[in-house]
Amino acid sequence: AQTVTQSQPEMSVQEAETVTLSCTYDTSESDYYLFWYKQPPSRQMILVIRQEAYKQQNATENRFSVNFQKAAKSFSLKISDSQLGDAAMYFCAYRGTSGTYKYIFGTGTRLKVLA
Amino acid sequence: EAGVAQSPRYKIIEKRQSVAFWCNPISGHATLYWYQQILGQGPKLLIQFQNNGVVDDSQLPKDRFSAERLKGVDSTLKIQPAKLEDSAVYLCASSLAGGKVNEQFFGPGTRLTVL
């Protein structure tokens, strides 16, 4: 069975600085998708960025980028130029490409942004 | 474009009572997901629908939880009877289709407290 692990329950970053959130996963599939979701205090979850496992190039969305290491089964999120609005829970998620396409989420990392 | 709607937003009940949650997905989204998010954890998939058929309900406690999606549009999730450990936020999400990796859009969730 697939698992997703986020080992950092909480992280802090100064405004305008860079922070990296870690995620590791376990799977026997060769093709899959990985996601980072943001859940602000209002609790509506939104997609931040996604990575397709067959693509070697790391995904980038404005200030958000990932470091995808397929062999190490690692998928970290880098937030550059952190803003107060980035404060939220961040969840790493995995989705396979066979079976029911179920999403599996990690336990989350709470990001605090300090002014 | 209207987002995923859920109601009620908050519900407090006593154990052994029953409760129902409603979700209206984004128009045209064939896939609908119900997640349970216990405080401090990531969302856990309870049930996934493709149109009005169940794709995955492997983690749904079927002795007390039930869900339906009539006419392949809105959906209800019911708990009967509720237990203390059912206290959680119940998230509904929808996407265009389950076969492709289309973005999941989440609703605001229903926070359930069981006393």
Query: What pLDDT sits at residue A39?
Result: 94
Q: Which two tokens stand for residue A27?
A: 């799977």
Q: Which residues of B touch A45 (CB under 8 A)?
A: 43, 91, 93, 106
pLDDT bucket at A20, cuts 50 / 70 / 90: very high
Q: What pLDDT score does B72 carry?
A: 81
- State the average pLDDT over residues B54-73: 92
Quickly state the pLDDT bin for A16 (edges 50, 70, 90): very high
- For residue B52, the model assigns a pLDDT of 85
SS3 of A86, please? helix
Specify the pLDDT at position B70: 82
Contacts of A101 in chain B (CB under 8 A): 48, 55, 98-99, 101
Mean pLDDT, rounded, of chain A? 93
The reported pLDDT for the residue numbered A89 is 96
Distance from CA of A33 to the nearest CA of B (A): 8
Of A91, A102, A108, the CB nearest to B45: A102
Sign of CA dihedral A48, A85, A39, B7: negative
Mean pLDDT, residues A11-38: 95
Whole-number Å distance between alpha carbons of B92 and A72: 32
- Tell me the nearest-neighbour CA distance from B98 into chain A, angstroms: 7
DSSP string across A20-69: EE--EEE-S-SSEEEEEEEE-TT---EEEEEEETT--SPPEETTEEEEEE
Q: Does B48 touch chain A (CB under 8 A)?
A: yes
Per-residue pLDDT tens for A26-82? 998 888 999 999 999 877 899 999 999 988 899 999 999 999 999 999 999 999 999
Query: Residue A85: helix, strand or coil by DSSP?
Result: helix
Confidence of residue A1 (pLDDT cuts 50, 70, 90): confident
Which 8-state DSSP code applies to residue B9?
Answer: S
pLDDT band at B88 (very low <50, low <70, confident <90, very high): very high
CB-based contacts of A18, cutoff 8 Å, min separation 6:
A78, A79, A80, A81, A82
Mean pLDDT of A96-109: 86
Nearest CB partner across the interface for A91, out of B40, B42, B98: B42
Res B102: pLDDT: 75
Token pair of A26 as six digits: 């376990």
Q: What pLDDT score was predicted for residue B40?
A: 86
Facing residue for A102 by CB, picked from B3, B48, B109:
B48
Asked if B101's CB is within 8 angstroms of A95's CB, the reply is yes
Q: What pLDDT score was predicted for residue B100?
A: 59
